[in-house]
Amino acid sequence: MNSPALRAVSVGPLIERARAYLNQDDCERLKTAYRFSDQAHLGQYRQSGEPYVSHPLAVAELCTEWRLDVQALMAALLHDTVEDTTATTEEIRERFGPEVSELVDGLSKLDAVEFRNREEAQAENFRKMLLAMARDVRVILIKIADRLHNMRTLEGVAAEKRRRIAKETLDIYAPIAHRLGLNAAFRELEDLSFAGLYPHRYATLSRAILAARGNRREVIGRLQSAVAQQLPKFGISAAVEGREKSVWSTYKKMIEKHLSFAEVLDVYGFRILVPKISDCYITLGALHALYKPMPGKFKDYIALPKSNGYQSLHTTVIGPYGTPVEFQIRTEEMHNVSEAGVAAHWMYKENIGKGTSPLQARAHEWMQSLVQVQSQTRDPSEFLDSVKIDLFPDVVYVFTPKGAIRELPRGSTPVDFAYNVHTDIGHHCVSAEINQRPVGLDTILRNGDVISIQTDADANPHPAWLGFVRTAKARAEIRHRLKTTTRTEAIEFGQRLLDQALRALGSTGLDDPKLEWQQFLAENTAHDKDALLEDIGLGLTLAHVAARRLVPQIANTAPAHLPDHAKNALAIAKTHFTSTAEAITIDGSEGSTVQYAACCSPIGGDAAIGLMRGGAGLVVHRATCGLGRRQRSKDPGRWADIVWAEQLRRLFQTHLIIETQDLRGILARVASAISGADANIVGANTAPKDQTLAIMNLTIEVRERQHLANVLRRVRRVPGVIRAIRIPPQHATNLAEP
């Protein structure tokens, strides 16, 4: 590959740019930092053949476009010295001060740490940068400038490395630039990544866009002329600019909507810049008086700014020849923020010294939320995945019952909303209402929804929530809570199981002083009693196996002093206990250590069997469940009969099918009967069976079989009900409302 033309390396252009807003002393400090960087990188060259110092110099020049302060520019010049030369963080601190040193440290990779693979290294280095940028947003601004220059000079890099860097940029750095409102950098990073990943596609599509620009010149000219004549009639003085979609966004639209390039009609649009906010809305009216707006294609990002601070009115109209054309209407200040985002704070002298701008505060809040996520997530790859999910800023705006607005990523659910309001509300969430209608917790939220969350102090997150939550905060909090509560619940359940197994062998239980704990723990992977009990509660160690090893002298021989019932228990254990566990008593308080099989949905009082599944605890099936019986025949040693405690401490979901006459108000009467029996309906679906009959599928919560029988009796008495029976889950539909 041919090397690009090499430029002369000089600090002059940087100093000239810096003089536009920095004083002479600051410019001298920049020169000192440049000389240090130049000396440190002496003898190092880029793939293009240029002296390496040309890179930090170019990064610093990019930072002057955002008018970053002298400390940030010095850090940009020095950002690779600690990582790639013999210079140290302490030396940087002594020469240039602690502020510059901390910025440089935040930009340096963890080279001294050994990682198992490239992905782990990427995740841990990103975690380090994240913590630094949460303390000082200038870290990420310098990093974006660094990545932008690297992407501009990517042609000198080997193909495989080029694709890897482009993929990382598209997945992480471009979305971060967008999240921080650096839209000009964001668009360029996306297009450069596209060129790095798919050079032939990029070249082909670029040529097509260039040709389309010429082909549509007449349409564009007519539009621009018509708008320029229309706005003064409404008293608006505005600048009308042509705006072309980026190559990557055009390609992405083609892929997502399965379109050919010829079918992408809105490659070209317009941006209208006006003096005041009120002018934006007047301009909107003027446009709609000139061209018909397309229904559903208007967005008011002025009243409801995007999460990155972006503000503008968007409308799509039907232009000449029936071509859809998008207009963006904004003030000059909005435009500056839309291009520079948080960096706009440094671009205006009046902002300096005024503390944190609203946009910076919003960015800081987002970065702090990521810090919270990383504190809850030990696995670096899991953390990086969570951050990637949270980086894409397409949002919905929803409301609390009191009218407070909440901004969430598109695809969020009531559980995401609950964690957004407060972590404790998320942890104890049991149900939700949207616009005063009960919905499932996995319901996708829409713009304008009013969300109400019902909580229960005894409730905890369900592992299934991880399958539908959208936000990184919710995902991290759920995982952390599950790990914490699962350990506590597993230990408590393990105590009950082991005590029960010990007593079946004639021991007095866990408090038996004759138990050989020391020898057992020395031979076992569990390092203490709690670890063993946790393993038993999670099904990693079987209670009857552990019991036999703790009381071997009791298990092998029956001492004469034992009562008859204990001797009988030992005889049975010696014959059968190697293959079959004793019955397990459960009361519903075991939490996530006991799962109720989705294939048969057992409820309290059902004849039931349980599988101690390694790592998942106890899984309870109905004794009549075909799947459970087949699995038990293959591995009987992990199965036990289930005994229900007299007092059950949870509600169980079960499914009903009710056949009724197709009468007005029949669902309400059935619901009233169920409520009168002190049961809850958690999902409902109705459908006509024929012209005179209807079928209801209901999911209800009951305490146990006797409670269910009472519910069914009441339902069968409702006029119009023909039959009402319990059905297996596989015969029920998904009853949560969409």
pLDDT for 594 equals 83
Residue numbers of the chain with a pLDDT score lower than 70: 1-8, 109-124, 126-128, 130-131, 133-134, 213-217, 265-267, 307, 341-342, 344-394, 525, 552-582, 614-616, 730-738
Assess contact for 178 and 308: CB atoms under 8 A. Answer: yes
With beta carbons less than 8 A apart as the criterion, state whether 368 and 134 touch.
Answer: yes
DSSP string, 704-733: SHHHHHHHHHHHHTSTTEEEEEEE-GGGS-
Give the type of residue at 122.
Q
What pLDDT does residue 201 have?
93
Beta bridge partners of 617: 613
Distances (CA, A) of 523 to 127, 515, 535, 556, 577: 39, 14, 15, 19, 21
Which residues does 185 contact at the CB level (< 8 Å), separation at least 6? 144, 145, 148, 177
pLDDT score for 199? 92
The reported pLDDT for the residue numbered 388 is 60
Estimate to the nearest angstrom the gap between the alpha carbon of 578 and the chain centroid. Answer: 45
What is the end-to-end Cα distance of the chain in Å, rounded?
A: 54
- For residue 515, the Cα-to-chain-centroid distance in whole angstroms is 47
Q: How many residues does the chain have?
A: 738
492-504, pLDDT tens digit by residue?
Answer: 888 888 888 888 7
**What are the φ/ψ torsions at residue 468 (nearest 5 degrees)?**
-135, -10
Stated as kind and residue range, the H or E segment containing 659 is: strand 652-661
Burial status of residue 65 (CB atoms within 10 A of its CB: 0-12, 13-18, 19 or more): middle
**What domains does the chain contain, in order, with CATH numbers?**
12-197 (1.10.3210.10), 204-347 (3.30.460.10), 366-479 (3.10.20.30), 487-644 (no CATH), 652-731 (3.30.70.260)
Measured between alpha carbons, how far is 691 from 336 in angstroms, rounded to an integer?
63
Q: What are the tokens at 667?
A: 């669902």
**DSSP letter assigned to residue 56:** H
Give the residue from 550, 566, 594 showing the smallest Cα distance to 505. 566
Per-residue burial over 229-262, b if 16 or more Cβ lie within 10 Å, else e, is ebbeeeebebebeeeebbbbbbbebeeeeeeebe
Dihedral angle over CA of 4, 9, 13, 14, nearest 10: 110
Six-digit token pair at 633? 């025949």
CB 143 within 8 A of CB 75: no
| Active site amino acids | 83-84
DSSP letters spanning 498-528: HHHHHHHTT---TT-TT--HHHHHHHSS--S
**Angle, CA 225 vertex, CA 221 and CA 229 arms, to 5°:** 170
What's the CA gap between 506 and 572, in Å, rounded? 11
State the Cα–Cα distance between residues 597 and 652, nearest whole angstrom.
Answer: 11
Rama region for 67: left / alpha / beta (φ>0; ψ in -120 to 50; rest)? left
Query: From CA 515, how far away is CA 498, in angstroms rounded?
Result: 12
Residues with Cβ within 8 Å of 123's Cβ and at least 6 positions away in sequence, in order, are: 380, 381, 383, 384
DSSP character for 362?
Answer: H
**Residue 289, C-beta contacts closer than 8 angstroms, at least 6 positions apart:** 230
At CA 176, angle to CA 175 and CA 182, rounded to 5?
Answer: 95
What is the C-alpha separation between 78 and 248, in angstroms, rounded?
32
Q: Give phi and psi for 242, each to the nearest 5.
A: -75, 150
From the list 737, 738, 725, 594, the residue with the least C-alpha distance to 655 is 725
Q: Which residue has the tokens 């708008």?
A: 227
Contact 414, 450 (CB under 8 A): no
- 3-class SS shares of the chain: helix, strand, coil, % to 5: 55, 15, 30
Q: What is the pLDDT of residues 507-522, one digit of tens each?
A: 888 888 888 888 778 7
Q: Within 577-721, where are the H helices?
A: 626-634, 666-676, 705-716
d(CA 8, CA 6): 7
Long-range (24+ apart) CB contacts under 8 A made by 650-653 are 650/588, 650/589, 651/680, 651/701, 651/702, 651/703, 652/588, 652/596, 652/601, 652/602, 652/603, 652/604, 652/701, 652/702, 652/703, 652/704, 653/601, 653/603, 653/682, 653/699, 653/700, 653/701
Helices (H), 377-452: 380-391, 414-421, 423-427
Residue 453 bridge partners (DSSP): 432
- Compute the distance between CA of residue 629 and CA of residue 610 in angstroms, rounded to an integer: 10
CA 252 to chain centre: 22
Task: Give the amino acid at 691.
Answer: Q
| Burial of 476 (C-beta count, 10 Å sphere; 0-12/13-18/19+) | buried
Q: Give CA angle at 239 (238, 244), nearest 5°.
A: 135
CA neighbor of 176 nearest in space, from 135, 134, 118, 207 = 134
The answer to whether the beta carbons of residues 242 and 236 sit under 8 Å apart is no
Please name every residue paired with 683 in a beta bridge, in sequence order, or none if there are none: 699
**Is the Cβ–Cβ distance between 181 and 340 less than 8 Å?**
yes
Q: Which two tokens stand for residue 200?
A: 């032939």
DSSP 491: H
Name the pairing type of β-strands 324-331 and 268-274.
Answer: parallel
CA proximity to 546, closest of 562, 565, 567, 524: 524
Per-position DSSP letters for 168-226, written without gaps between them:
HIIIIIHHHHHHTT-HHHHHHHHHHHHHHH-HHHHHHHHHHHHHHHHHTHHHHHHHHHH
- Which residue do the tokens 């009951």 mark? 702
Question: What is the distance between the alpha carbons of residues 661 and 449, in angstroms, rounded to a whole number?
Answer: 35
d(CA 442, CA 418): 12
* 283-313 core/surface letters (b: 16 or more CB in 10 A; e: else): bbebbeebbeeeeeeebebbeebbbbbbbbb
